[in-house]
Structure 1
Amino acid sequence: MNNEALQALVCEISTRFFGISFKHHAYFNPRLRTTGGRYMLRTHHIEINPAVYERYGQQELIAVIKHELCHYHLHLQGRGYKHRDKDFKTLANNVGAPRFCQPLQAVTPKHIYECSQCGVRFYRQRKIDTLRYYCGQCKGEIKKV
């Protein structure tokens, strides 16, 4: 799929689900890494991560477009366009837009800790101070594996 096909798809989804035409640009941005797409507040353009279409296909791409169009239409109407706003949650629920997209990067834990008493393992991205924290299950001492 190229940018022209994406623009046509966004215009079609906007008129079909929202009943309002999309008057700005939508395009793929390969520099996006962790997010499925983003709505630009100043220019009103929508950028989509091409990895969404490549990894998950047309259905997930449509879901991301719906999510970004919720931001777009609410912002232009002067209503609550942020994730925490009631207007956004209501509109997203009405059109079937997801709150989050599928994960785009595999997250592997860098640090593994284990409780010395019950043996529960804790997987963390950041290093933790083992003297300061203890096991939440049994209050045992935590050791780095």
Structure 2
Amino acid sequence: MDNTELQILVENISSEFFGKPFIHKARFNPRLRTTGGRYLLSSHDIEINKKYLEEYGTEELIGIIKHELCHYHLHLEKRGYKHRDADFRRLLAEVGAPRFCTALPESEKRTSRKVLIYRCSGCGQTFTRRRRINTSRYVCGKCRGSLQFFKEIK
């Protein structure tokens, strides 16, 4: 599926489920990482993460499009278009759109990263970090002692 097919799909879903036309642009955005799609307030365009189509198929994609169209139509009608608004939640339920999309498998891997533990040579204070630090540059905030790498937990 390319951007023109996505545009046609979004227009069809908008007229079928919402009874209103979608007159702006819909496109795939390869830079989206943690979300299935987004509605752009300034241009009224919709961007979709293509990885959801590849991983979960068209049913998940249609759910994401319905969700973003809820933001779109409510914003244009000057009604509550944010996730916490009652209008938005009511419209989600009417059209059968999901409130959240399914997490991608690669994003689950990202959350379970390694943890590095450093220990102060002076007072024994431990520091946990996700990123490696330069032990010759940084010192303990408690006693200004030198830091030493202690262990890594996966």
Q: Could you tell me which residue of structure 1 aligns to residue 53 of structure 2?
A: 53
How far, CA to CA, are the matches of 2:103 and 2:85 in structure 1? 23
> Match of 2:84, as an amino acid?
R
Superposed structure 1 runs of 4+ greater than 6 Å apart: none
How far, CA to CA, are the matches of 1:5 and 1:56 in structure 2? 18
Q: Could you tell me which residue of structure 2 aligns to residue 120 of structure 1?
A: none
1:2 counterpart = 2:6:
no
Q: CA shift at 1:110, angstroms?
A: 3.8
> Match of 2:59, as an amino acid?
Q
Q: Could you tell me which residue of structure 2 aligns to residue 84 of structure 1?
A: 84
Per-residue CA deviation, residues 37-56 of structure 1 (Å, 9 max, x unaligned), is 00000000000001110100
Structure 1: gaps spanning 5 or more residues: 112-124, 127-143
Q: Tell me the TM-score normalized by structure 1.
A: 0.75
Q: CA shift at 1:13, angstroms?
A: 0.2
Q: CA shift at 1:108, angstroms?
A: 1.8
Q: Could you tell me which residue of structure 2 aligns to residue 40 of structure 1?
A: 40
Per-residue CA deviation, residues 60-111 of structure 1 (Å, 9 max, x unaligned), is 0000000000000000000000000000000001000101001021232545
Identity %: 61
> Match of 2:82, as an amino acid?
K
**How many corresponding residue pairs?**
117
Q: Which protein shows a greater Rg?
A: 2
Corresponding residue SS for 2:38: strand
Alignment of 1:94-133 (within 5 A): 94-104=94-104, 105-106=107-108, 107-108=111-112, 110-111=114-115
> Match of 1:33, as an amino acid?
R
Q: Tell me the TM-score normalized by structure 2.
A: 0.71
Q: Could you tell me which residue of structure 2 aligns to residue 116 of structure 1?
A: none
RMSD: 1.9
